[in-house]
Amino acid sequence: MEYIQLRNADLTVSRFCMGGCPMGGYDWGDTKEEDFIDAIHTALDLGVNFFDTADTYGLGQSEKTLSKGLNGNRHDVVIQTKFGVRAQKGQNTVIDNTPVYIQKALEDSLRRLNTDYIDIYVVHYWDQKTPPAVIVEELEKQKQAGKIRYYGLSNARPEVLALYKPFQGQFVTSQHEFSLCCRKWEAEIRQTVDAMDVTPLTWGSLGQGMLSGKYDENSKFSENDRRRREVYTNFHGEKLKHNLRIVEELRKVAASHDKSCSATAVRFILDLFPNGIPIVGIKNAKQLRDITTAQDWHLTWQEMTRLNRVSHADKNVTPTEMPWLKEF
């Protein structure tokens, strides 16, 4: 297992973070809590010590399941959870970063996680109303109270970075959607790392499962699987056709290393962002074991170039346009 120390923090974590969105048990097809718990146990056995969740995943269910799976191992792991999405059954979802809501959300997460502190507390989305200075002031209060150790950003767009800039060095992580299927936020990831001096994390690292290689143009999803909706563009229309071309090339690269498509897609992120960490949503121990085989090897520069070219829908990128790539 590869490990890395997070920027601005006394935390050393695995370069694989187990994502807890499916753990919420909502709209990801048929799931079982015992499978998630088994996956958490497997993660611990394999050296994974970094877990990402959010209060809105399954309206708190993900945090509860994570707590149950960790059992007596709480102090051996780093838990990152998020706040800011105020959701309740039967009501409109609201983004809320006010100090009053931060206080309530934090207490609720602490209770569900059955812990007296959260390692990294993350601004899930900005409400475009509460000044970042006010958010940081409240997070600092909670840090001084010992309820959180550090804090991070999620989905921070360029227009808000200038407002967060005065707090460079205080945030420790920042996460954006990124995968071979979704590279539109790549520039924002690099801008955020430069502006805020943080460790970058990627979510949607397998394109909601597209990069597992399990799906084609004839794949169907059940009524309780969100991917059947066209808003999940990876599985519909021209985007699906483009993604299948990516998977075709990914399968060839994976075969040359005797790895799965999923592990190879995660390795691409690890090698593209040498100081980054992919978050991958996991449903069961089998998926977990497969994904962790992405650790401790490298893609060649030529393979990175091939995957880079096929994954850009808007242009044919040449090696000279990829100064961050190097021979591994």
Catalytic residue positions, numbered = 57
- Whole-number Cα distances in Å, 248 to 84, 214, 257, 266: 38, 11, 15, 16
Q: Are 193 and 200 in contact (CB under 8 A)?
A: yes
Three-state secondary structure of 257-326: CCCCHHHHHHHHHHHHCCCCEEEEECCCHHHHHHHHHHCCCCCCHHHHHHHHHHHCCCCCCCHHHCCCCC
Q: Are 239 and 189 in contact (CB under 8 A)?
A: no
Q: By C-alpha distance, which of 146, 144, 142 is closest to 122? A: 142
Q: Read out DSSP for 6-58? A: PTTSS-EEES-EEE-SGGG-SSBSS--HHHHHHHHHHHHHTT--EEE--TTGG
Q: Give the span between the Cα atoms of 37 and 206, in whole angstroms.
A: 21
Q: Give the span between the Cα atoms of 181 and 279, in whole angstroms.
A: 15
Q: Assign residue 47 a region: left if phi > 0, alpha if psi is -120 to 50, beta otherwise?
A: left
Cα of 305 vs its chain's centroid, Å: 24
Half-sphere exposure of 14 (CA within 13 A, CB side): 28
